[in-house]
Amino acid sequence: MSGTGFTRLSRVLAKAKEGDLFFECPGCEMVHGISTGSGPGPRWGYNGNAQAPTFTPSVLVRYNWSDGPRVCHSFVTDGRIQFLGDCTHKLAGQTVDLPDWEDER
């Protein structure tokens, strides 16, 4: 992970700086990040378990892709991602384990 700015915390979770946590989303096939702890901007609760993280409330990611806008909306609970029905990717409505963090990111 050297040169990426990420430090791996576990097989499924990484951080970039204090309070900023990242996980790989298998639906979007990209990294999603959230801010925990104190500080400016939106903050999520975190159970402190890097092996099986839980974030509250839900994680909502909106972005534009070459063929239009995308939405990824999920609950991350005990190391699993429950994708909600408003997701625009193939895993909408499914619950899957957080994937292993890939070192090349």
**pLDDT tens digits for range 35-89:** 998 888 899 999 999 999 999 999 999 999 898 999 999 999 999 999 999 999 9
The phi and psi torsions of 73 (rounded to 5 degrees) equal -130, 125
Q: For residue 98, give the DSSP letter.
A: P
Please tell me the distance from the alpha carbon of residue 81 to that of residue 32, in angstroms, as a whole number: 12
| pLDDT of amino acid 5 | 79
Domain boundaries, the chain: 7-97
